[in-house]
Chain A
Amino acid sequence: MTAVTPAPPAPTSRKSPRTTGTPRRTARETSRGYWIYLLPGAVGFIAIVAIPFGMNLYYSLTSWRGVGTPKFVGLDNYIRLVADPAFWASFLHSGAFIVAMAVIPTALGVFLAAVLFDYIAPKFGTRAASILRAMFYLPQILPIVVAGVLWKWLYQPQYGILNTVLDGVGLGGLRQNWLGDADTSMLAVMNVLIWLQIGYTVVVFMAGLSRVDPALYEAAEIDGAGWFQRFWSITIPQLRPEIAVVLITTSVAALKVFAPIYVLTRGGPGTSTIVPAYFSYSNFFTTTQVGYGAAVASLLALLVTIIAIVLLRYQTRNAEGFEK
């Protein structure tokens, strides 16, 4: 339907400079001049991203132990990959980590930011709100290795804090081998990641809320809107740009997640918490199947890029709609 309707030419479209000669030349000169400024960034990109990525693509077509001479095997690694249950398990787990690192922290983050911003701050003062915000943010400052050690203590099956507390309150029947049992390990890891991510989302959303015109809330309050109505009809729509940014960054982080897995479970028990980045790492450095690990890394890079582009497109469209 929309395809047959020609879009009205926008006044700022690229074609417009052609109507006059002078602006066109200026535009060209300007764009030539800018290339020099792109150079430092381009050098960095080529050295740190493009060349290693190219090498990785090459290694993914070889059988290589990391030392010696790589043997070219064509697409063998990729063929093996699509038939490898551990690989599929790792991508399935990426879905769980998007829930734990993007979806839940965003939802909880909007809610907590709103509570801190227009309930805690007016009632108990901005100082109380700032202190709480800092507490939510603390896990973000903590080195992930330290956080991992702390959580392993909490989860330790025999004398860990969690099981000890459960015993103490008479719920000893709920004791679990949290990280060591394939039935609970995923949930235990997801819980750590939610705890880790909430600080980030709360801080971004609180910054977003300080941008929102207070008159909106005042007007709504005068019209008799309750807290939840204001949250639903003002806070969430007003925070749309922030929500989009947070969802992109956290989703990409979820797809690349490595350190928390490395510290907490190393993908285990079995493959119950394995993720693509760790799967790739273990092929590179533990089983020294470098070619195979490179194939995983290449597919992961492809997938992350596609998802990031889709999300960015979605966000740009949303932001444009928001401005209109």
Chain B
Amino acid sequence: MGSGQRYGLTNYGEYVSVWYNKDLFAQQNIQVPSSVQELEQAMDKFAGVGITPLALGSQDYPGTHLLYELALANMDKDSWSAYQQFEGDVDWTAWEKAAQTVQDWTARGYISKDSTGIAAQDAGNAFVAGQYPIFVSGTWWAGSFADEIKDFEFDQFLFPGTDLHPGSGGNLWVVPEKAKNKELAYDFMEITMSPEIQNLLGNEGAVPVAADEAAITSPIGKLTTPRFNELLNSKDGGLLVPRLAGRGTQ
């Protein structure tokens, strides 16, 4: 290691949003919801015809991510700063409301009672298999969804009712102070930041940080990259969570 300030470089980003099965939405004649209330109405419609609307793997991170989305829906920029950036006293009622909502949704059948025994990958697989119309999770699914979902159209919308959305830069490249071949490490990092690699990441749906939007032509890339940039550049709200640890360590 070394001492002093630590720096890292990320070559991709990610954000959490709502993946949905367009075919199932069309079948039930449901529009993309623009508020939590509309989302609940949509889920109620699915539950009414015996479809559990939310794919949720609470044995892993997706449970936490949904909870955070719901907490953000009850926060504004100031209360978020107090919680996430230690600026002022935290108002915990946002979290209490979020927990209550998860409980209510489970009671109403929007979330399966089995979700606590289901892993993230199982939830993703079940969404790919068309078993659930909605999956609240991150852009790290984009590539595999684009590859594996063949039987229906899927799309993504930002969690409704809030301008605050969880997201971050990806894993960081760091070069230890005492590394033997620093220049080689810098060269490698530069390669991952080159337009060629960045555009490749974009076309795979992997949300690059420095791609040329015009060069991204795949449907999945056109979905995730501009939206990430839009969130990144937004003044009120936008991307919120500094990345502290690798995914899956919750």
Contacts and interface: CB of A to CB of B under 8 A. Distances in A.
Interface of A: 67, 152, 155-158, 177-181, 265, 268-269, 285-286, 288
Interface in B97-142: 112-119, 122, 126
Interface of B: 6, 58-59, 112-119, 122, 126, 244-245, 249-250
Contacts of B249: 285-286
Given A286-B245, A286-B249, A286-B250, A177 B113 contact: yes
A253 B114 CA distance: 31
Residue among B6, B112, B116, B245 facing the most chain A CB atoms (10 A cut-off)? B116
Interface of A is mostly: loop
B158 to A, nearest CB: 27
Nearest to A188: B117
B245 A181 contact: no
Nearest to B126: A158
Contacts of A152: 119
Given A156-B122, A179-B59, A180-B58, A269 B116 contact: yes
Nearest to A159: B122
Contact of B117 (A67, A181, A285, A288): A181
A152 B117 CA distance: 9
30 contacts: A67-B6, A152-B119, A155-B117, A156-B117, A156-B122, A157-B114, A157-B118, A158-B112, A158-B122, A158-B126, A177-B114, A177-B116, A177-B117, A178-B117, A179-B59, A179-B117, A180-B58, A180-B114, A180-B115, A180-B116, A180-B117, A180-B118, A181-B117, A265-B59, A268-B59, A269-B58, A285-B249, A286-B245, A286-B250, A288-B244
A152 B122 CA distance: 11
Nearest to A180: B117
A156 B118 contact: yes
Contacts of A157: 114, 117-118
Contacts of A181: 116-117
A276 to B, nearest CB: 19
